Amino acid sequence: MRSENRLLDLADLAASQWGLFTTAQARTLGFSTQRIARLADHDAIERLRHGVYRISGAPSVPHEQLRAAWLMIEPAVTTGERLDAEHPGVVSHRSAARLHDLGDLDADVMQFSTTGRKQSRLIDVQYRTARAGRERWTLLDGLPVSTVLSTIDDLAADHLDGGHLASVVRDAVTTNLVDTDGLIAVLGQHAHRYGITPGDGAGLLDRLLTEAGIPESTLALSRRLIPGGNITAAATVSS
């Protein structure tokens, strides 16, 4: 394959991956390590992190380092191929909360869930073992991300402190990102971790929303009007 054609193929691949590509992907197109280094030396490509480059001229995209780290979960596989899989490795836990704009959590370490056990030697990347189910993730700006309910489930399973979990739950319900019954069911699995009667998801939801600053009058109105205590609807009524 002529060098010019290889460059076009690389540019086409990067265009489908937010302007990014991995060293492993470039090698499958016939690029040697030395050739990749020369392209970087001549500013034709820009190194983002170990094993990941951006085509020069491609615009920077939001959460670019997170996208680059996601590409490195399976560096030789294209984004399109991975998204066709039932579980492509997803952004999860604190990183997912940040993408969903939930709460105010530190997310300096990028967290991903994969179906098999996987370890990272990088201090800013952490892998967790994923729970089964296609329903546990969704596409968000082209990235596979755990759903809001799954994110809350994962954070509670990690025993995230009550104050931070409260801010995540507050943002989820007041922006109508979750079904209240589903949220109560998820919180019920973790109620005992937070000093609530085991299985009492509604009790834990009340406690978290109170801690997050939802007025008691709003909580009381919700309990009267909406079976299961739909806080979102009540908050709309009271606003």
Alpha helices in 50-200 (DSSP H): 64-71, 79-83, 93-99, 148-157, 162-174, 180-188
Sign of CA dihedral 162, 167, 168, 169: positive
> Which among 100, 195, 198, 202 has a CA at the least distance from the CA of 154?
100
Does residue 217 belong to any structural domain of this protein?
A: yes
Same domain (yes/no): 126, 186: no
pLDDT at 43 over 60: yes
Domain boundary, last residue among 93, 114, 145: 145
Does residue 77 belong to any structural domain of this protein?
A: no
pLDDT at 160 over 70: yes
Q: What is the pLDDT of residue 65?
A: 96
Q: Which residues of 42-71 are buried (b: 16+ CB within 10 A; e: fewer)?
A: eebbbebeebbbbbeebeeeebbebbbbbb
Same domain (yes/no): 132, 181: no
Percentage of residues in the chain having pLDDT higher than 90: 74
Same domain (yes/no): 131, 173: no
Same domain (yes/no): 182, 133: no
Does residue 79 belong to any structural domain of this protein?
A: no
Does residue 8 belong to any structural domain of this protein?
A: yes
Structural domain of residue 10, as residue ranges? Answer: 3-55
Instruction: Specify which residues 97 forms β-bridges with.
Output: none
Q: Do residues 105 and 164 touch, judged by C-beta distance below 8 A? A: yes
Q: What is the pLDDT of residue 2?
A: 64
Does residue 231 belong to any structural domain of this protein?
A: yes
Does residue 26 belong to any structural domain of this protein?
A: yes
Domain boundary, last residue among 145, 172, 194: 145
Domain count, the chain: 3
Does residue 64 belong to any structural domain of this protein?
A: no
Same domain (yes/no): 166, 121: no
Same domain (yes/no): 207, 234: yes
Predicted confidence band of residue 166 (pLDDT cuts 50, 70, 90): very high
Predicted confidence band of residue 41 (pLDDT cuts 50, 70, 90): very high
Does residue 92 belong to any structural domain of this protein?
A: yes
Q: What is the pLDDT of residue 140?
A: 96
Same domain (yes/no): 184, 206: yes
Same domain (yes/no): 109, 165: no
